[in-house]
Chain A
Amino acid sequence: MAEATPVVEMRNIRKSFGAVQALCGVDLVLHHNEVLGLVGDNAAGKSTLVKVLSGALIPDGGEVFIEGKKVHISSPWGARSMGIEMVYQDLALAGNLDVAANVFMGREAVSTRLGPISIMDKHHMEQETQRLIDRLKIDISSVRLRVERLSGGQRQSVAIARATAFNSKVTIMDEPTAALSVAAIDKVLNLVRELKAQGCSIIIISHRLEDIYKVSDRMMVLRHGRKVLDCPVIGSLDEFRERLVAYIIGARNDFAEKGAN
């Protein structure tokens, strides 16, 4: 395969919090239509890395390229306007609003503008939301259901659908399967596959190696703020798990040297 321009490239990202160095020069590459699994122990730097990409944190050093162009991401809103969408672990949804209102939150469709007052085009938003959940095969009976009345899996699906609704280039999912039932996890993983089938590029963080194995094309292991492994997802689940755990806990640490040679 010819080396196409990656959709995201992060080079030598460094970030410290006081004396703690959370990221010591991490590189990340995400290709078009690829699902990248990001794993590591607690405090390995996974969340810090994606927060840099999603604009929630400003790195101390390093460069970020989106489709080959160098960018400066200074806020979540800025990241969003560059097509980087984040699905937050704690589900950034408003329970008192319905599904359509949540999908369009902060980006409401407007039919008429009267000075500072903009009248919403509710009909359009509901139709688009219906189309979105049909396309992604999400099981929700009405877009007018209030989100607080949905199950955990349905909420996660709404959050993911929302992130992909506005032609995003990259969707970052931080622990999308945490705190879900087994059936709900399957639904969310199916949704990730569906998104990949429709051409999305996804970074997925998870503690559940099984989930990463099921949906990712490639995975990256972080340990103490350094990348210790970056390889395609191949082989059986057991082999995969064994190998990964060795890198996560630091039993093996030969990747960086290999890369250097």
Chain B
Amino acid sequence: MQARRAEMSFMKNAKELFLQNAREFGMYIALVVIMTTLTIMTKGIFFSPRNITNLLNQTGYIVVLAVGMTLVIIIRHIDLSVGYLSGFLGAVAAIAMTRWHVPVYLTIPLVLGFGILAGLVSGFLVAQMRIPAFVATLAGWLGYRGALQYATMAKGTIIIPNAAFNAICNDFIPDIPDIGILPGLHKLTLILGVLAIILFIISAIRDRRKMMRANKFRALSMNFFIIKLVFVSALIGVITLLFAKYQGFSWTAVVLLIVILLYNFIMSQTVLGRHIYAVGGNPEAAELSGISVKKITYVVFCSMGMLAALSGIMFASRLRSATTTAGQLFELDAIAAAFVGGVSMSGGIGKVTGSFIGAIIMMSLTSGMNLMGIDISKQYIVRATVLAAAVMFDVAIRRREK
């Protein structure tokens, strides 16, 4: 009797584990399938070290927005203003360095501060004035578009001469001096990659031990665990090798790593993250439990504003200039990345890492199809199909869960 109950409970938990992770598994599988297909169809060019490095550098400023957008959508709002806000703040950064002669190490925190300020304004409109986020941020979209045009009116394009600033999205981390082994590979990148794999395995084993102590049925699926370890380690290994074969990790990769690790940590391990999910799941319940929905809304919009500023800095750095059209439609790319990455419009569901994968999937499609010489018109249709398919998959899984 006892044994049967334990067995039944195990089956239930195994099913639960699969259902809870079906979305994530599905997304990783989709990523692998898309990347493999594109690699075959471009005869390997897609997966070349150079292309993958470029891909990540091009996706960087969208990923940063998608991370912020994930939080905004989790609390059942939307932010349409971030594209032009990003463009405008990129122009502010350019003006600060070229006209106000602010040094680069002050320009970056200054612009990030402006981003938080912009988030405060959106937060005020949404949380305090109770204007629907769609409308409030649509106003922002118009306003920042105007601000961007005003800022770039004099010359149209503001060239940024600062080498350190332009390095953020164009250059690579330095290598250790050549000592004759592994010629042609970026050794510091390799070392960092190996360290990352070791750290990942150690922390995964520690988490599992903790889980075993808490609830042994829960952690029993050893096979799952090993598959996950091997898959993630291989993924980190392959990515590291790709970068090492080209010019090593780019600074963009470093920035993305920091942003994603930080946000993932906040969302999964801290009280703030838990409160954000609670507000998204049931705002009334959160309020009754003593969580200030208003405060959470402010925090989320401020974080979005700050990330929009970061995105603007990255884009301006990538182009080595600020242009009149910077940031155009970034917001929609970020929203699409979040939805492909499993964030739910109904609130409370979604992960930062998912949105990252979502952004990579969307950018892979663009990059691969560009390499294949597919016309831009068809590219949009393919990307539309992938977005719709991802969301349909999501809805189907969620319906089955209930």
Q: Which residues of A contact B (CB under 8 A)?
A: 76-77, 80, 88, 90-97, 101, 105-108, 110, 116-120, 122-123, 126-127, 130, 141-146, 148-149
Contacts and interface: CB of A to CB of B under 8 A. Distances in A.
7 contacts: A90-B284, A92-B282, A92-B285, A92-B288, A94-B348, A106-B289, A141-B12
Interface residues of B, number: 35
A224 B266 CA distance: 51
Interface in B208-225: 210, 213-215, 217-218
Contacts of B266: 117
Interface string B241-283: 0000000000000000000000000100111101101101110
Given A95-B281, A108-B274, A119-B269, A88 B288 contact: yes
Contacts of B217: 142
Contact of B348 (A96, A143, A144, A145): A96
B274 A120 contact: yes
B401 interface: yes
Given A95-B282, A96-B349, A117 B288 contact: no
Given A94-B281, A141-B13, A105 B271 contact: no
A157 B9 CA distance: 20
B269 A106 contact: no
A141 B183 CA distance: 56
B290 interface: yes
Interface string B327-356: 000000000000000000001110000000
A44 B402 CA distance: 37
A188 B286 CA distance: 23
Contact of A94 (B13, B213, B282, B290): B282
B291 interface: yes
A107 B290 contact: yes
B291 A117 contact: no
Nearest to B288: A92
Contact of A106 (B13, B280, B290): B290
Interface string B193-234: 000000000000000001001110110000000000000000
Tell me which of A80, A93, A96, A118 has the highest count of chain B C-beta atoms within 10 A of its own C-beta: A96
A168 B151 CA distance: 59
> 3 closest pairs, A vs B, by CB?
A94-B281, A106-B289, A96-B348
Contacts of A116: 272
Contact of A97 (B214, B218, B281, B401): B281
A259 B266 CA distance: 59
A76 to B, nearest CB: 6
B12 to A, nearest CB: 6
Contact of B215 (A107, A119, A142): A142
A32 to B, nearest CB: 26
Given A77-B290, A94-B281, A95-B348, A149 B215 contact: no
A108 B215 contact: no
A148 B402 contact: yes
Contacts of A142: 9, 13, 16, 215, 217-218
B291 A127 contact: no
A146 B19 CA distance: 12
Contact of B270 (A96, A118, A123, A127): A118
Contacts of A120: 269-271, 274
A144 B281 CA distance: 16
Given A76-B288, A90-B284, 20 more contacts: A80-B290, A91-B285, A92-B285, A95-B348, A97-B281, A105-B274, A105-B278, A105-B291, A106-B275, A106-B278, A108-B274, A110-B271, A116-B272, A117-B272, A118-B271, A118-B272, A123-B210, A123-B213, A126-B214, A148-B402
B284 A92 contact: yes
A133 to B, nearest CB: 13
A110 B275 CA distance: 13
Contacts of B12: 141
B282 to A, nearest CB: 4
Nearest to B269: A119
Residue of B210, B277, B285, B401 with most partner-chain A CB within 10 A? B285
Interface in B169-202: none
A88 B217 CA distance: 33
A93 B401 contact: no
A119 B290 CA distance: 18
A142 to B, nearest CB: 6
Interface string B48-75: 0000000000000000000000000000
B402 A144 contact: no
A108 B272 CA distance: 10
B285 A93 contact: yes
Nearest to B401: A149
B277 A149 contact: no
Given A94-B277, A123-B214, A141-B13, A105 B401 contact: no
A122 B214 CA distance: 10
Contacts of A90: 284
A9 to B, nearest CB: 25
A105 B270 contact: no
A101 B274 contact: yes
B285 A94 contact: yes
Nearest to B215: A142
B306 to A, nearest CB: 14
